[in-house]
Amino acid sequence: MSANSNSNSNIHVNTNMAEYYAKRADQYDNVYARPERQADLPVVRDWLRNAVAGQRVLEIACGTGYWTAEVVQTAEHVLATDINAEVIALARARNLPADKVDFALADAFAIETAQPFTACFAGFWWSHVLREQQDSFMERLREQLGKDTLVVMMDNVYVEGISTSIARTDLLGNTFQIRRLGSGERYEVVKNFPSDSGLRKRLSPHLKDIRIQRIEHYWMLTGRLK
């Protein structure tokens, strides 16, 4: 994984990540059609279904509901949240079982819920959380969900020659990619690729019983809030 400390100052780059994902909402799931990911996806689906089986799940940053559709296969109930109305609309259009899933607009950094949940699922979200915000995010989960709540995460592994190149690395170790929309607009998106040891170091103050599985394109993690 190569990284540059400075981005090209001659190119205008938008850093509004929420806006970027709203604008490409109808294209987001195309990544799962890529040929190189087909061997990994059944493994991830089976792992996720097993991880959330029988749980009442709060889903963080559900996006288009691609993974919500897997969670709902085995979970008792799911509240799927996202900050973008555009992706929530696509998730609702999947017509998932109304008695098992609800959707709500919510900022992942300001989650408030009075509902009882036994699990939290964050798919492809951790990589977008700045390193300096990770502790506060986890503390918020603990405050809202309580001790021993199951935390389920999965995200991307950096694969040389396939993943979007890293454009720069900041002084805190966050890495950033430049993403381009069909309109030609460029966005700088935080996208961190932690190692297993990095995940354990960062999450061990917040989680116990951490278990990590890593395959070619994805890593998966479970733990319980302390």
CB of 29 within 8 A of CB of 53? no
pLDDT tens string for the chain (226 positions)?
Answer: 444 434 343 455 666 777 777 777 677 788 889 999 999 999 999 999 999 999 999 999 999 999 999 999 999 999 999 999 999 999 999 999 999 999 999 999 998 888 899 999 999 999 999 999 999 999 999 999 999 999 999 999 999 999 999 999 999 999 999 988 877 888 899 999 999 999 999 999 999 999 999 999 999 999 999 9
Beta bridge partners of 156: 218
Q: Are 125 and 118 in contact (CB under 8 A)?
A: no
Tokens describing residue 159: 């694969």
pLDDT value of residue 182: 75
Selecting from 3.40.50.1820, 1.10.3300.10, 3.40.50.150, 2.40.50.100, what CATH number does the domain 17-158+195-225 have? 3.40.50.150
What pLDDT score was predicted for residue 13? 64
Task: Please report which helix (H) or strand (E) contains residue 49, including its range.
Answer: helix 41-52
The model's pTM is 0.89
| Residue pLDDT, tens place only, 100-131 | 999 999 999 998 888 899 999 999 999 999 99
**Domain coordinates of the chain in residue numbers?**
17-158+195-225
- Give residue-wise pLDDT tens across range 34-66: 999 999 999 999 999 999 999 999 999 999 999
Q: Is 167 exposed, middle or buried (0-12, 13-18, 19+ CB in 10 A)?
A: buried
The answer to whether 137 touches 129, Cβ cutoff 8 Å, is yes
